[in-house]
Amino acid sequence: MAIRRILTIDNPADLAILKQVSKPVDAVDDGVRALMDDMLETMYDAPGIGLAAVQIGDLRRVVVMDLGDGPAPEGAEQAAEGEETRVPNPRFFVNPEVLWASDETYCYEEGCLSIPEYFDQVERPARVRVAYLDSAGQRIEEEIEGLYAVCFQHELDHLNGVLFIDHLSRLRRDRAMSKVKKTMRLREDA
C-alpha cells in the first residue's frame, strides 16, 4: 500500500485530468484491489471520507469510501450523549452507477480533497438506487440515503469529470477556485 498524491484544482494539469471521464473496469482483479488499498490509505491520510481513482490520476471507474459508520464492536461502550463514535467501515465501488434517484432532494455542505479547505451547500437527490461491483467483483444493488447517498453521488460525479463546485453558481465556483489557489500558495510558502 502507498499514499498517492491527490490532484487539486489549482494546478492546470491536475484540473485537466480531474475533468476527464473515467473508463469502466473490465474485471476486479488483484491490480484493482491494490489500487483500492492505495486509495483507502491515501484517503485516510488526507483525511477524507471518499476518494475516486481519478483524484490520484488513475482514470478507472473506482471509488473508495469510509463514513465511519461501521457496527460497534461487541462489548464496546456506548458513546456519551453528544459524543461521536466513528467505527471504520471501508467500502469499495467498481463501475458504480445510479439506477434511480428520488425527486426529493437533500442539501449538504460538501467538501473535496481535490478542492482543499472549501465547503459549500450542494443539493442532490435524497435517495438513490445504486449498482456497483464490490472488492470481490460481486454485483451489488442497494437503495441508499443521507450522507452515504451524498458521498456516492459526489464520487460518481468525479468519475464523470464533474466536481462538486460545478453544481454551484459561476460566482461561487470562481470564489472556490480563488480560495483554493490562495490556500495552496500559503501551503507552499510555509
pLDDT in tens, 94-111: 999 999 999 999 999 999
CA 44, CA 55: separation in Å to the nearest integer? Answer: 14
**Preceding amide of 47 cis, omega within 30:** yes
The overall average pLDDT reported for the chain is: 93
The pLDDT, as a whole number, for residue 188 is 82
Instruction: Verify whether residue 109 is a known catalytic residue.
Output: no
pLDDT exceeds 60 at position 46: yes
- Strand partners for 112: 115
**Over residues 125-129, mean pLDDT:** 98
Catalytic residue among 117, 123, 143, 155: 155
Q: How confident is the model at residue 75 (pLDDT cuts 50, 70, 90)?
A: low
What residue spans of 3-145 are helical by DSSP H?
12-18, 30-45
pLDDT reported for residue 189: 83
- Beta carbons within 10 angstroms of residue 80's beta carbon: 7
pTM listed for this prediction: 0.91
